[in-house]
């Protein structure tokens, strides 16, 4: 069992925290259509973050967290690639199974004479086991 390096663990923790923070920030932000409702007497038009509203602060914070999320994703991908390369160097063989040369496989064939006589429900007059097929 390989030990996880401290740097990889730290990047993984930052990745999880960034993802949870992005989810929370997206959920508390309101859309552009919400401003129209507050103009017609909506009770929730008061702002906590000042007269500019929380939009610019929360949008910037979300942007920075998204950049951090992408960077940690890239870092985790590099760690995974290095780990898979190291696994190949530890003597774990790459197994590729191929059919032996010259091996021939026989595909099953359908006996059409037996199938038309016993298994298929169609008869020559166009009916299907007693149910008439509409003509025309």
128 DSSP β-pair partners: 122, 131
- C-alpha 23/C-alpha 25 separation (Å) is 6
For the entire predicted model, the pTM comes to 0.50
In a domain, residue 107? The reply is no
In a domain, residue 3? The reply is no
Our count of domains for the chain comes to: 1
In a domain, residue 133? The reply is no
In a domain, residue 67? The reply is yes
pLDDT value of position 52: 55
In a domain, residue 58? The reply is yes
Nearest-5° angle of CA 126, CA 129, CA 112?
75
Q: How is 109-136 classified by DSSP, letter by letter?
A: ---HHHIIIII--B-TTS-BTTBPPPP-
Query: pLDDT tens for residues 48-107?
Result: 555 555 568 888 999 999 999 999 999 999 999 988 877 665 555 666 666 666 667 666
pLDDT of 1 above 60:
no
């Amino acid at each position: 069992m390989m030990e996880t390096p401290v740097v990889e663990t730290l990047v993984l923790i930052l990745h999880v925290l960034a993802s949870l923070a992005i989810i929370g920030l997206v959920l508390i932000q309101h859309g552009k259509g919400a401003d129209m409702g507050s103009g017609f007497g909506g009770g929730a038009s008061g702002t906590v973050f000042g007269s500019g509203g929380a939009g610019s602060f929360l949008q910037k914070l979300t942007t920075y967290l998204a950049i951090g999320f992408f960077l940690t994703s890239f870092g985790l991908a590099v760690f995974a690639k290095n780990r898979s390369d190291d696994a190949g160097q530890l003597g774990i063989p790459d197994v590729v199974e191929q059919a032996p040369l010259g091996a021939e496989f026989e595909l099953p064939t359908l006996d059409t004479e037996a199938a038309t006589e016993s298994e298929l429900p169609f008869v020559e007059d166009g009916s299907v086991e007693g149910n008439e097929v509409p003509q025309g």
